[in-house]
Amino acid sequence: MDPMYYDTITKLEDMGVDREYIQGWIGGFMNNPKREEQRVTKAYDSGYGDGTNKSTDNAEKWKA
8: containing domain:
3-56
- Whether residue 43 lies inside any domain: the answer is yes
Q: How far is the C-alpha of 39 from the C-alpha of 12, rounded, in Å?
A: 21
- Whether residue 11 lies inside any domain: the answer is yes
pLDDT at position 15 is 96
- Whether residue 64 lies inside any domain: the answer is no
- Whether residue 42 lies inside any domain: the answer is yes
- Whether residue 61 lies inside any domain: the answer is no
pLDDT tens digits, residue range 3-40? 899 999 999 999 999 999 999 999 999 999 999 999 99
- Whether residue 62 lies inside any domain: the answer is no
- Whether residue 51 lies inside any domain: the answer is yes
Q: How far is the C-alpha of 40 from the C-alpha of 24, rounded, in Å?
A: 9
pLDDT band at 2 (very low <50, low <70, confident <90, very high): confident
pLDDT at position 64 is 78
19-29 and 42-52 are packed helices; what angle lies between their axes, rounded to 10 degrees? 30
Over residues 47-60, the mean pLDDT reads: 96
Domain count across the chain? 1
Q: pTM (2 decimals)?
A: 0.93
Q: What is the residue-wise DSSP string for the chain?
A: --HHHHHHHHHHHHHTB-HHHHHHHHHHHTTPPPPPGGG--HHHHHHHHHHHTT--TTGGGGB-
- Whether residue 48 lies inside any domain: the answer is yes
